[in-house]
Structure 1
Amino acid sequence: MRTSVSYHLPAAAPAAAPGLAVVAVGTACAYAVSHALPALNASTVAVALGALLSNARLHHPVLRPGTALAGKRLLRIAVVLLGLQLSLPQLVHLGLRGLLVVVTTVAVTFAGTRYLGRRLGVPGPRSLLIATGFAICGASAVAAMEPVAGGDEEDTGVAVALVTLCGSLAIVFLPLLRGPLGLDVPDFGSWVGASVHDVGQTVATAQRVPGALTSAVVVKLTRVVLLAPLVAAMGLASRRASAADPGAGHRPPPVPLFVAGFLAAVALTSTGVLPDGLLADAHTVQSVLLVAALFGLGTGIHLPALVRTGRRSLLLGLTAWVLVAGVAYAGVRLAAL
């Protein structure tokens, strides 16, 4: 059964205030830990802190309206603002070969993860969320696909936990593999951009190899552009399935409203009318909202439930991580020929 929480901000503000206050403190702590330990990404720390709050039984009922609002509304606002980091001219700069690498990596990772999910017996909604997170851009992609997937809070929490875990592992291991895999600096950046999940994790990984950041960000943001068409395609498929089944109930929208906002933000940025200062400020706000939202989502991660039901999901996530890294590596090497 799908569980969801829907809030109208003005009406929910008093009830959400205690939880939002805790989210604000958790966000500040995540940034403080990340600043003290640069190897730890703030997004990763936020998920861990949220899970710690929940599993220490400190996530009291009075906090839940605020943490749920952060995990849904703030994350969706962050997805919209993510569109301001993208522009269509980036596709031209990437070139046909680079674009082909990105599209192939996303398509193979998404389809392969869905297939493996079915073989492993992972529930369909959870498999869809995991596939989207690994193929596109981590937690932001999970949030975008969540209205279409028809899963529950646990499905979303597991998917976010897996992309956060594997993205954090990528920060450590991918730079160590550059030499053995024979990648020069630009190709390493392209590999990182095509295979690491979250934008922040991509930046953190690429920064460990001087000179790799530019190519990593260009490839990564081009990959993020595919978020909207993927969500739209799955939304249309879900609506067709619902139409064929009279008992299916609620039909998900073909494109969630905030994904349409994401597209509008991309279009606006592509016009070049927005000043660089405004775009920089929007990037900062987007990063803070994402960390706050991930803290909220972290409170939905219950370790006993993960132990009971998450083993197959963990195997699926680790396999998807190897798949996306392998396909992206093959694509980068072939594109360099």
Structure 2
Amino acid sequence: MKNSTLDLKKIVAVLPGLATAFIVAVISKILAIWLPTLGAATIAILLGIVLGNTILKHPVLEKGTKIAEGKLLEFSVVLLGATVTFQTIAHIGLKGGIFVILQMSLTIIATYILGKKLLFSDNMSLLMAGGNAVCGSSAIASIAPSIHAKEEEKGQIITLVNLLGTILMLLLPLIASFLYGTNLLAKSALVGGTLQSVGQVVASASMINSEVVEFAMLFKIMRIMLLVVVVYLFGKFKARTTTVAATSPISTKKAGLPWYVVGFVLFCIINSLITLPEQVSETAHFFSGWFEITALAAIGLRLDFQKFFKEGKRFLIYGLSVGVIQVILAISLIRLFLF
């Protein structure tokens, strides 16, 4: 009986934020009818940002929007796998894989060196490097134990990475359309190979078109699949460069692939080996779309500009500089590989 009461309290605590995110998603879908150029995904996150920093800035929404931002987007990614096949992945090919590895490696090196130049600690420089190179907050949370980072360091870098991701999320569609015109793969590589979180990739790619969402997510999934390698290497690097007291050993906790990446790959395999009924694909696409729009609305609602400005000028310089470096690297590599 006691457990049932606790479960009910948890559900009640989540409902306001979850319902608010869904309502913003519905409004965005309706507005998209009159603003088709923007699209529902773009409207959802922009509307969420405006409302979340004004009339809907309330602690009671926190738990629900957190669930919507995290879990719904993860389910959306899994269901997206039901619409992708090996033939789709083949379009990216070996060049795409090399592009991702080089983009990640150069981003990590440049971000770490810049962080040290700006007098940030080893931990903060490594967290910033991993968060931008792999998958934002999720990567930072996975890397932090392996390098023995403090909670304060982790929180500051998560805030900075989210700020940078939001700026790039809005700018990259404009840059991609200007530079690459109708080149689907080049635009997808720029968005999927640069942006920090899955939500930002989906939102940014949605501002271009649905095909870019599909291909950009493939580039993003490749990056996420390398998370395990990044966590391992960062832990080894930290152990070699720092003498840690015996009372505070560096964590050896292993990082596994996020469940939604595994789910995406499994659905992709099934869809490639077995011809799924059209109704199954359409249903998966329908729910994936609604989960995505609701999650993006939640991301907007949770984006607190006050937190960003509290971090100070040095943080903003670091974040913006890393963003410029990432974009320049991506454009250079795309040109090199002639996507």
TM-score (normalised: structure 2):
0.71
Question: In 2 relative to 1, CA 64–226 (structure 1 residues): closer, same or farther, beyond 3 Å?
Answer: same
Once the two structures are superposed, the pairs formed by residues 34-113 of structure 1 within 5 Å of their partners are 34-40=32-38, 42-56=40-54, 58-113=56-111
Q: 1:296 aligns with which of 298, 303, 312?
A: 298
Equivalent runs, 1:126-275 vs 2, <5 Å: 131=129, 135=133, 141-142=135-136, 144-150=138-144, 155-178=157-180, 185-186=182-183, 189-196=184-191, 197=195, 198-205=201-208, 207=209, 220-236=216-232, 247=248, 253-255=254-256, 259-271=258-270, 272=272, 273=274, 274-275=276-277
Determine which structure has more spread, i.e. the larger CA radius of gyration.
Answer: 2
Aligned CA distance change for structure 1 residues 278 and 247 (closer, same or farther; 3 Å): farther
Q: Secondary structure at the match of 1:247?
A: coil
Match of 2:10 among 9, 12, 22: 12
Whether the 8 Å contact between 1:144 and 1:231 is mirrored in structure 2 is no
Cα deviation, 1:15-43, whole Å, max 9, x if unaligned, reads: 21122111111222333444433454544
Distance in 1, Cα, partners of 2:123 & 2:43: 26
Residue 198 of structure 2 corresponds to none
Contact in 1 for aligned 2:92/2:185 (Cα 8 Å): no
CA distance in 2, matches of 1:324, 1:32: 35
Change (3 A) 1:297 1:176: closer
Conserved 8 A contact 1:122-1:312: no
Note if contact 1:91-1:99 (Cα within 8 Å) is conserved in structure 2.
no
Query: For the Cα contact (< 8 Å) 1:105–1:194, is it kept in 2?
Result: no
CA contact (8 A) 2:176 2:190 kept: no
- On the 8 A contact 2:40/2:293 being kept in 1, the answer is yes
Q: CA deviation at 1:77?
A: 2.9
Q: Contact 1:16 / 1:66 at 8 angstroms: preserved in 2?
A: yes
Of stretches 241-250 and 84-93 in structure 1, the one that deviates more from structure 2 is 241-250
Displacement of 1:89 after TM fit? 4.4
In structure 2, how many angstroms separate the alpha carbons of the residues matched to 1:229 and 1:118?
Answer: 27
Where structure 1 has 5 or more consecutive residues not aligned to the other structure, the ranges are 1-7, 179-183, 208-212
CA–CA distance in structure 1, aligned partners of residues 35 and 312 of structure 2: 29
Q: Which amino acid aligns with 1:255?
A: G
Determine if contact 1:195/1:325 at 8 Å carries over to the other structure.
yes
Aligned to 2:311: 309
Rounded Cα–Cα distance in structure 1 between residues aligned with 2:136 and 2:206: 19
Measure the CA separation in 2 of the matches of 1:130 and 1:284. Answer: 35
Which residues of structure 2 form unaligned runs of 5+? 1-5, 145-150, 196-200
Q: Does 1:324 align with 2:318?
A: no
- What is the identity percentage for the equivalent residue pairs of Structure 1 and Structure 2? 24
